[in-house]
A and B are shown apart, each in its own frame.
Chain A
Amino acid sequence: MSAPVLALDNIEKSFGALRVTQGVSLDVRPGEVHALIGPNGAGKTTLVAQIAGALRPDSGRIRFRDRDVTGLGVAARARLGLGRVFQLSNVVGTFTALENVAVAIVAAGDRPFGPWQPALRDPALGDEAAAALARVGLADRAETRASDLSHGERRALELAMSLVQDPKLLLLDEPMAGTGRAEGERLTELLLSLKGRVPMLLVEHDMGTVFRLADRITVLIYGSVAVTGAPDAVRADPVVRKAYLGEEEAV
């Protein structure tokens, strides 16, 4: 088996007396969709922040593409190919959809300083951005301001911004949150179409989506890993049923 794309080794993080991340180890293998689930307050958000580089763990190592990235910040990890879709859709609201994608292309590119030529009149940049929008089904929304897009469209836009950077891993933080049924379905189809090509770490509440997409599932409870395994094994796990799935299904 080839080396994992992302590997967390015994990550610890405390806020004061509160241990929010307790010796978490997990990995994402090439081509795999690895879902991270857990009840509210399990420490998913904190863990995602540490993977993205926004928070520094107290101890433990994070390896990404065979490099120790524990000490790197958000921008440096992104440059290595860590794409991120935020829990709350995070786009530049005052920019059009096309401009947003252009930002993503230029930010990761080798020419973020070109001072003279108007960026959006550069056909290479414009065409690439338009193609990326078309791929996520936003071709006809290119000139719409991002703040005027629907929630699901913003999600798709964010995904387009990540994809255009040719990510080596996608960190998806609750992509289904707040989307309507039809939008959620379209988004799931989109993610399914990426499956196998881009490895993903999917943090998600919606169990339907998780079980449709994931190759493996890790369950986080009270900041530590309760179980990692194939969907069927996790579904059958008594600890998980008690702590998590039981209450979900009861709702």
Chain B
Amino acid sequence: MAQSVPTPRRAAGVRLALHPAVVGVLGFAAALAIAHAGGSVYGATLVARTALLALAAVSLSFLIGQAGLVSFGHAAPLGIGAYVVLIAGEYGVTEMLVVLPLGFAAAALFSVATGAVALRTRGVYFIMITLAFAQMIYYVAASLSAFGGDDGMAIAARSTLFGLRLLKSDTGLAMLAVALLGLALFGLDRLIASRYGLMLRAGRANEAKLQALGLDPYRHRLIALAIGGGLAGVAGVLLANQVEYVSPATMNWHVSGELIVMVVLGGTGRLAGAVLGAVAVTLLDETLGHFTEHWKLGLGLVIVAVVLLRGADLKALLRGGAA
């Protein structure tokens, strides 16, 4: 687990350098630098896209792997973040420092409101209910005729940062996405190791015992949903800026499914695994997608193969392949 007891033998500096947040940020930054040096606009787009999807996947991994909440509706907060960009833009608000917290708050609010009901249940009920609530918000978005209805619409303009048009290029956007991903990894790791995180993880591993020790983890879980949903909202804000278009399709339940795929492929035990999963799925999309419009067939085959082979862990698979 990511939050194993710190080894005192290892120097603090080394520990920090090996922190997944640092490694992740450096990896993405290197990819971005290479793309930039090669003069590739496409490379920057790819990095931005991968980083923001990784952020969404990490927020879901926090819920699934740490809180034990298998949400099948994570596309909903992602889409809500995207709609915040669209709707705020229509009202002339395009400053990232406003839109970003707004996207977090709106998505967190939705997650808490639906979570208050969903948390009354367990197991398959929880999975189905989160899916159903996400579908509900999907239909609500599709009925917003002022904002494009079924088809969605283009955003007024990309968000500004500090009033400057720093995000006009995908390079700028990629840097922001990578920075936010690093912050999220670092912050969530910290949270997981804290007293709050200890209770959250204990509730996932053995709820009956935690109850017998005097703690009902309901509030802890509600807070986890707010944090996980809010971060997905942040990813949604970035997504809307990257594609410059927002539609209900962002909230399609297939998106929720693909986020789960990323989390599980990378391994649910560590947040950083979700980053690996996001990179793998995006690369699969980019490579297979070039050969055939039916790339989802390939994705489906990979998923079923991984699950059936009981690998369910990309790292284990890679190790097996390397040996």
Q: Check A-B contact in the complex, CB < 8 A.
A: yes
What residues of chain A have their CB less than 8 Å away from a CB belonging to chain B?
52, 73-76, 78-79, 84, 86, 90-96, 98-99, 102-104, 106-108, 111-122, 125, 143, 161, 165
Q: Which residue of A lies closest to B4 (CB)?
A: A96
Contact B190 A91, beta carbon cutoff 8 Å: no
Q: Which residues of A contact B220 (CB under 8 A)?
A: 112-113
Q: Which residues of B contact A113 (CB under 8 A)?
A: 195-196, 220, 223
Q: How far is the CB of A233 from chain B (nearest CB, A)?
A: 33
Q: How far is the CB of B103 from chain A (nearest CB, A)?
A: 21
**Cα distance A102–B223 in the bound complex, in angstroms:** 21
Name the contact of B205 in the complex, choosing from A92, A119, A120 (C-beta under 8 A): A92
Q: Which residues of A contact B195 (CB under 8 A)?
A: 106, 111-115, 117, 119, 122, 125
Apart from A107-B210, A121-B6, A122-B195, 17 more pairs, CB < 8 Å = A74-B208, A75-B214, A78-B212, A84-B212, A90-B208, A94-B1, A95-B205, A98-B5, A106-B215, A107-B215, A112-B215, A112-B220, A114-B194, A115-B195, A119-B193, A121-B193, A125-B195
Q: Check B41 for interface membership: any CB of A closer than 8 A.
A: no
**Cα distance A114–B190 in the bound complex, in angstroms:** 11
Q: Which residue of A lies closest to B199 (CB)?
A: A112
**Cα distance A76–B214 in the bound complex, in angstroms:** 6
Q: How far is the CB of A45 from chain B (nearest CB, A)?
A: 14
Contact A91 B194, beta carbon cutoff 8 Å: no
21 A-B pairs, CB-CB below 8 angstroms? Answer: A73-B211, A75-B214, A79-B214, A86-B209, A90-B206, A90-B209, A91-B206, A93-B206, A95-B201, A102-B198, A112-B195, A112-B199, A113-B196, A114-B194, A116-B194, A117-B194, A119-B198, A120-B193, A121-B6, A165-B213, A165-B214
Nearest first, the 9 A-B pairs at minimum CB distance are: A78-B214, A114-B195, A107-B215, A118-B193, A107-B213, A75-B216, A79-B214, A74-B211, A103-B202
Q: Check B191 for interface membership: any CB of A closer than 8 A.
A: yes
**Cα distance A76–B201 in the bound complex, in angstroms:** 20
Q: How far is the CB of B99 from chain A (nearest CB, A)?
A: 25
Q: Which residues of A contact B198 (CB under 8 A)?
A: 99, 102-103, 106, 119-120
Q: How far is the CB of B39 from chain A (nearest CB, A)?
A: 43
Q: Which residues of B contact A107 (CB under 8 A)?
A: 199, 202, 210, 213-215
**Cα distance A107–B193 in the bound complex, in angstroms:** 15
Per the 8 Å Cβ criterion, residues 159-200 of B in contact with A are 190-191, 193-199
Q: Which residue of B lies closest to A158 (CB)?
A: B209
**Cα distance A74–B1 in the bound complex, in angstroms:** 29
**Cα distance A106–B216 in the bound complex, in angstroms:** 12
Q: Count of chain B residues with Cβ under 8 Å from any Cβ of A? A: 27
Interface flags, B208-236, vs A, CB<8A=1, else 0: 11111111100010010000000000000
Q: Which residue of B lies closest to A115 (CB)?
A: B196
Contact B211 A75, beta carbon cutoff 8 Å: yes
**Cα distance A120–B223 in the bound complex, in angstroms:** 21
**Cα distance A141–B206 in the bound complex, in angstroms:** 21
Name the contact of A115 in the complex, choosing from B6, B194, B206, B215 (C-beta under 8 A): B194
Q: How far is the CB of A195 from chain B (nearest CB, A)?
A: 22
Q: Which residues of B contact A116 (CB under 8 A)?
A: 190-191, 194
Contact B215 A90, beta carbon cutoff 8 Å: no
Name the contact of B5 in the complex, choosing from A73, A93, A117, A143 (C-beta under 8 A): A143
Q: How far is the CB of B216 from chain A (nearest CB, A)?
A: 4
Contact A52 B215, beta carbon cutoff 8 Å: no
Q: How far is the CB of A115 from chain B (nearest CB, A)?
A: 5
Q: Which residues of A contact B210 (CB under 8 A)?
A: 103, 107
Q: Which residues of B contact A52 (CB under 8 A)?
A: 212
Contact B5 A120, beta carbon cutoff 8 Å: yes
Q: Which residues of B contact A92 (CB under 8 A)?
A: 202, 205-206, 209
Contact A91 B209, beta carbon cutoff 8 Å: yes
**Cα distance A91–B212 in the bound complex, in angstroms:** 11
Q: Which residues of B contact A78 (CB under 8 A)?
A: 211-215
**Cα distance A52–B213 in the bound complex, in angstroms:** 11
- The verdict on A108 contacting B209 (CB below 8 Å), with A114-B194, A115-B191 known, is no
Q: Which residues of B contact A125 (CB under 8 A)?
A: 195
Contact A94 B190, beta carbon cutoff 8 Å: no
**Cα distance A22–B1 in the bound complex, in angstroms:** 47
Contact A114 B196, beta carbon cutoff 8 Å: yes
**Cα distance A165–B216 in the bound complex, in angstroms:** 16
Q: Which residues of B contact A98 (CB under 8 A)?
A: 5
Interface flags, B1-35, vs A, CB<8A=1, else 0: 10001100000000000000000000000000000
Q: Which residues of B contact A90 (CB under 8 A)?
A: 206, 208-209, 212
Name the contact of B199 in the complex, choosing from A79, A106, A143 (C-beta under 8 A): A106
**Cα distance A90–B211 in the bound complex, in angstroms:** 12
